[in-house]
Amino acid sequence: NAGVTQTPKFRVLKTGQSMTLLCAQDMNHEYMYWYRQDPGMGLRLIHYSVGEGTTAKGEVPDGYNVSRLKKQNFLLGLESAAPSQTSVYFCASSSSRSTDTQYFGPGTRLTVL
Amino acid sequence: AQKITQTQPGMFVQEKEAVTLDCTYDTSDPSYGLFWYKQPSSGEMIFLIYQGSYDQQNATEGRYSLNFQKARKSANLVISASQLGDSAMYFCAMRPYYGQNFVFGPGTRLSVLP
């Protein structure tokens, strides 16, 4: 049972380069989320999705785009990476039940030089 | 807007002793859930315990219990009989019943001393 997987696990980019992070879940969850984690700031929501084909902005959406073409996948894109986007990125999914927890992927460590 | 406050950036506890990690929250939603997660140095996020705002009893899961005081808007995590493996970051989070987003606190780093 894979749960939530993220690809890649590590990446180094140069300023201005683009990349896409892939998140996949096999739990048939409706909701999916992208967070970034920076030291001392906990997890901050970038974008989220409540279903296939729908996305919405979170707390820190600038510089990122997302797509959810299939229910099980949620992609996070950086069109022109900046050093301020150096962070650890977590994907998570949850069911629509309000009492259910989120299930997290293992994280992607991104460094932008 | 919702907000989670964890006022203890770091905590130390002796092995086998109990420790309380503080969490206070602010919300205008009448119904919500509170969650605690553990993040060891390996980086994964591990769900520990859940408390619903209308639950009459404080939640317990093994050595973890939640001291929920609704009027004070606090949801402190109590870890009994601390073990070296409990050394980690701990995050408090909240989710409204009729919403889909989770709001996280900044976390508390717990160090268990042998």
User: Over the stretch A10-29, which tens digit does the pLDDT of each residue have?
Assistant: 999 999 999 999 999 999 99
Q: How many helices (H) and strands (E) does chain B have?
A: 0, 12
Q: Do B50 and A101 touch (CB under 8 A)?
A: yes
**Per-residue pLDDT in tens (0 to 9) along chain B, 114 residues:** 789 999 999 999 999 999 999 999 999 888 999 999 999 999 999 999 999 999 989 999 999 999 999 999 999 999 999 999 999 999 999 998 888 889 999 999 999 999
Q: Do A33 and B102 touch (CB under 8 A)?
A: yes
pLDDT at A1: 64
Could you tell me where the beta strands, DSSP code E, fall in A1-113? 4-7, 10-13, 19-25, 31-37, 43-51, 54-57, 65-67, 73-78, 87-94, 103-104, 108-112
pLDDT at B17: 97
Q: Residues of A15-37 as b/e, b for ≥16 C-beta within 10 angstroms?
A: eeeebebebbbeeebbbbbbbbb
**Closest CA of chain B from A96, distance in Å:** 7
Identify residue B50 by its one-letter amino acid code. Answer: Y
Q: Do B100 and A50 touch (CB under 8 A)?
A: yes
Give contacts of B 42-71 with A, CB under 8 A.
Answer: 43-45, 47, 50, 52
